[in-house]
């Protein structure tokens, strides 16, 4: 289990490498936490990667990622002088693949499915005695992501609730531990796309289950869970309820964020805001974690109709 002190310790570790991202009020009482403002990586994953890699202090690490987590591991690796390897799916988005090859020392390829690729990468790392930096099933990664929760409490006065996107659950686990440990009355709402929601189904069935793969504009959240992930029990314990925005709602949120703030965010980055707009139980002062901004101009145009 992860505790508040773990998050506070992570905050001290990563301070030199991670930006305290701004918060903007997009509508009355709805605030966006702009993790897309993180340097180079353009997403929250830099926090967990820095926390884990600094703490473990290995000379070589490996991971598997669709995009941002791999970018983060590569970026922090260059800062710390650590050699990095990332295993991607066999058909990754070209922009993500190009950026990965710039930031990571070595890119490998697994299968067409991310869950299978992750398992392949884990086996490779074990065989070759390479430390694996897991995107979410790692207590130091989770503690790093939890630093967002500490910042939100500092940045939003009288915070009532936080909407957090869920893929593997590392982000919401860290934030929930931080926020609930300091103020249990604050609601933590998990958000997954209506297209695919492995964590939500797992919580309903009280065990980790796999679901059929379906594409989503919030593609980085449309993943199955590691069967042994520690995030499942944390989500079970701390998350108050869940919301599943539709594809149309996510695209509308992406567009509104751009028109009102000028920020270009990916589907997974906009989905928390989409959930806040959809939530009939929404409280007065709420924070929405904009998890990242790694999206090509073409995909952004297709989703929003806006030409960058």
Give backbone dihedrals phi and psi of 163, rounded to 5 degrees, phi first: -100, 125
Q: Per-residue pLDDT tens for 46-91?
A: 999 999 999 999 999 999 998 999 999 999 999 999 999 999 999 9
Distances in Å between the Cα of 119 and the Cα atoms of 82, 89, 110, 141, 248 are 23, 12, 9, 18, 32
143 pLDDT exceeds 90?
yes
What is the structure's pLDDT at 135?
94
DSSP 79: H
Q: Is the pLDDT of residue 93 over 90?
A: no
Is the domain defined by 45-132 classed in CATH 3.90.550.10?
no
Sequence-distant (6+) residues with CB within 8 A of 219 are 66, 267, 268
Q: Do the beta carbons of residue 232 and residue 167 sit within 8 Å?
A: no
pLDDT band (50, 70, 90) for residue 266: very high
Distances (CA, A) of 172 to 76, 114, 145, 146, 236: 22, 20, 8, 8, 11
Q: Output the pLDDT for position 114.
A: 86
Given the candidates 2.20.25.10, 3.40.50.1100, 1.10.10.10, 3.40.50.1240, the CATH classification of the domain at 4-43+140-304 is 3.40.50.1100
Q: What is the mean pLDDT of the chain?
A: 97
Cβ–Cβ contacts within 10 Å for residue 280, how many? 5
Residue 140 pLDDT level (bands cut at 50, 70, 90): very high
Taking the domains of the chain in order of start, what are their residue ranges?
Answer: 4-43+140-304, 45-132
pLDDT bin (cut points 50, 70, 90) of residue 138 is very high
Neighbours of 227 (CB within 10 A): 14
Rg (CA), the chain: 18
């Amino acid at each position: 289990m992860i505790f508040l002190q773990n998050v506070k310790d992570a905050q001290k570790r990563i301070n030199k490498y991670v930006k305290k991202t701004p918060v903007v009020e997009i509508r009355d009482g709805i605030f966006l936490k702009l993790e897309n403002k993180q340097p180079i990586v353009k997403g929250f994953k830099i926090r967990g990667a820095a926390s884990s890699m600094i703490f473990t202090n290995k000379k070589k690490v490996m991971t598997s990622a669709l995009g941002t987590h791999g970018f983060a591991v590569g970026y922090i690796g260059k800062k710390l002088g650590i050699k990095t390897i990332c295993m991607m799916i066999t058909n990754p988005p070209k922009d993500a693949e190009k950026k990965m090859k710039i930031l990571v020392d070595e890119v490998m390829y697994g299968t067409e499915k991310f869950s299978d690729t992750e398992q392949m990468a884990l086996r490779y790392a074990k065989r070759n005695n390479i430390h694996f930096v897991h995107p979410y099933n790692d207590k130091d990664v989770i503690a790093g992501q939890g630093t967002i929760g500490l910042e939100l409490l500092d940045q939003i006065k009288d915070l009532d609730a936080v909407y957090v996107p869920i893929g593997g659950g590392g982000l919401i686990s860290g934030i929930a531990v931080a926020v609930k440990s300091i103020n249990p009355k604050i609601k933590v709402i998990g958000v997954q796309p209506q297209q695919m929601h492995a964590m939500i189904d797992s919580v309903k069935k009280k065990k980790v289950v796999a679901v059929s793969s379906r594409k989503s504009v919030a593609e980085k959240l449309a993943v199955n869970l590691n069967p042994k992930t520690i995030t499942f029990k944390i989500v079970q314990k701390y998350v108050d309820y869940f919301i599943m925005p539709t594809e149309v709602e996510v695209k509308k949120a992406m567009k509104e964020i751009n028109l009102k703030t000028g920020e270009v965010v990916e589907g997974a980055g906009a989905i928390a805001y989409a959930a806040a707009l959809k939530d009939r139980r929404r409280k007065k002062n709420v924070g929405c974690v904009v998890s990242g901004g790694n999206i090509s101009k073409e995909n952004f145009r297709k989703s929003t109709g806006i030409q960058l």
